[in-house]
């Protein structure tokens, strides 16, 4: 079976590693290079650079080296990094989003960064909600050079020049509290962009110029992640009754998000379902988690799920990738203590 490295980013207990599909976890201590109680908001990896994993945290940007089995803090103008994405065509091109809301671009694998042109992004806020934060960055899988960003609370932004300059797109949005973005192919072959918010799902058929609110068939409209499976039409959406909430559900669509069905997860969910992790190396392998730390695994494309024994305090990011050849991320157990 394909060797897998699985990572969980937590709000206060840094990053946990698993090399056996989540049955067992390792928590490297601070001597690994990342403070044990860091808050880790996001991950990014690239097939062209199998030795490296990037993590965005409240302490800036970190790079994990499989060869060194250690984290390296990377100097940058960013302090609190909530999202990272790498260009599918070039692992060295990276875009990162921060809190307060701002976007930065690197063309040398994170060694140097340039702040992107996002006019007006810092002007968005709501009473008692604090600074904006970039919740997702997505390179468009169909239009080379187009990049999407969702900002909480700051709406949807689009770049058509690889991330250098950005345009604000809010016509038709019932909320600027953007959590997730996905790009899909409709049945007629045209492209659609989906955005999740605290008030439900939105769809754009005109490359973000306008949005239509699509009410979910759910007791709640609060939605977080929306993720496209490798086939381009199957979607997963995480849903619940608020942040962190006390109940949640996973929704699946087989027709680009027009109809949704609830996916049965074992046990009772303790909070809103928060994120989903998949990888084109094995479309059948999926992970999902609640905001308050429950983790679930599917090995058959989301048809059946197993609830993992380990529960975390609060999860903000899940990520998996194929294990680099000849190495497993579980090797850190030989060097770093459990916590």
Please tell me the distance from the alpha carbon of residue 160 to that of residue 268, in angstroms, as a whole number: 43
Asked whether residue 339 is domain-assigned, the answer is: no
Q: Which stretches of the chain score pLDDT less than 70?
A: 1, 122-130, 326-339
Please tell me the distance from the alpha carbon of residue 115 to that of residue 57, in angstroms, as a whole number: 18
CATH number for the domain that contains residue 116: 2.130.10.10
Q: What pLDDT does 232 receive?
A: 79
Collapsing DSSP to helix, strand or coil, 330 comes out as helix
Q: What pLDDT does 80 receive?
A: 97
Q: What pLDDT does 1 receive?
A: 58
Asked whether residue 144 is domain-assigned, the answer is: yes
Query: Nearest CA to 162 among 146, 141, 150?
Result: 146
Asked whether residue 81 is domain-assigned, the answer is: yes
Query: Nearest CA to 87 among 14, 193, 6, 161?
Result: 161
Asked whether residue 246 is domain-assigned, the answer is: yes
Q: What pLDDT does 129 receive?
A: 58
Please tell me the distance from the alpha carbon of residue 309 to that of residue 135, in angstroms, as a whole number: 28
Q: What pLDDT does 79 receive?
A: 94
DSSP 117: B
Q: What is the pLDDT of residues 171-190, one digit of tens each?
A: 999 999 999 999 999 999 99
Please tell me the distance from the alpha carbon of residue 15 to that of residue 28, in angstroms, as a whole number: 8
Q: Given the structure tokens 């006019």, which residue do they identify?
A: 119
Q: What pLDDT does 331 receive?
A: 46
- Structural domain span for residue 112: 4-334
Question: Six-digit token pair at 332?
Answer: 């850190």
Question: Six-digit token pair at 94?
Answer: 């990276």
| Number of domains making up the chain | 1
Q: How far apart are the first and last CA of the chain?
A: 29
The residues, any chain, with a CB within 8 Å of residue 41's CB and separated by 6 or more, are 9, 56, 57, 58, 80, 81, 82, 83, 316, 317
Asked whether residue 279 is domain-assigned, the answer is: yes
Q: What is the pLDDT of residues 9-58, one digit of tens each?
A: 999 999 999 999 999 999 988 889 999 999 999 999 999 999 999 999 99
Q: What pLDDT does 127 receive?
A: 39
Q: Please list the residues that pair with 60 across neighbouring strands.
A: 57
DSSP sequence for 11-51: BSS-EEEESSTTSS-B---GGGSS-TT-BEEEEE--TT-TT
Question: Six-digit token pair at 93?
Answer: 């091109």
Please tell me the distance from the alpha carbon of residue 182 to that of residue 233, in angstroms, as a whole number: 10
């Amino acid at each position: 079976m394909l060797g897998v490295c699985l990572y969980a980013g937590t709000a206060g207990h840094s990053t946990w590693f698993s090399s056996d599909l989540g049955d067992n976890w390792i928590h490297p201590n601070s001597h690994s290079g990342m403070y044990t109680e860091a808050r880790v908001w996001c991950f990014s990896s690239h097939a062209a650079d199998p030795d490296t994993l990037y993590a965005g945290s409240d302490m800036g940007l970190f790079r994990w080296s499989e060869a060194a089995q250690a984290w390296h803090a990377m100097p940058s103008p960013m302090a609190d990094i909530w999202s990272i994405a790498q260009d599918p065509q070039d692992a060295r091109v990276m875009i990162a989003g921060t809190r307060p809301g701002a976007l930065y671009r690197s063309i040398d694998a994170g060694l140097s960064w340039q702040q992107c042109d996002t006019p007006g992004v810092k002007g968005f806020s709501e009473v008692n909600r604090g600074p904006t934060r970039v919740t997702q960055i997505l390179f468009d899988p169909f239009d080379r050079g187009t990049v999407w960003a969702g900002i909480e609370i700051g709406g949807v932004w689009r770049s058509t020049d690889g991330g250098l300059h950005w345009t604000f797109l809010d016509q038709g949005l019932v909320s600027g509290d953007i959590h997730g973005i996905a790009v899909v192919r409709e049945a007629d072959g045209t492209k659609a962009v989906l955005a999740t918010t605290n008030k439900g799902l939105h769809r754009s058929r005109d490359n973000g110029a306008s949005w239509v609110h699509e009410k979910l068939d759910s007791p709640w409209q609060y939605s977080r992640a929306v993720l496209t499976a490798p086939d381009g039409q199957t979607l997963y959406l995480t849903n619940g009754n608020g942040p962190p909430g006390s109940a949640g559900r996973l929704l699946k669509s087989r027709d680009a998000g027009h109809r949704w069905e609830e996916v049965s997860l074992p046990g009772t969910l303790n909070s809103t379902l928060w994120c989903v992790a998949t990888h084109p190396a094995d479309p059948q392998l999926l992970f999902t988690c609640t905001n308050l730390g429950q983790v679930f695994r599917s090995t058959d494309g989301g048809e059946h799920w197993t609830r993992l024994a380990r529960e975390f305090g609060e999860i903000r990011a899940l990520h998996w990738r194929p294990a680099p050849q000849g190495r497993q991320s579980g090797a850190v157990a030989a060097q770093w203590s459990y916590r």
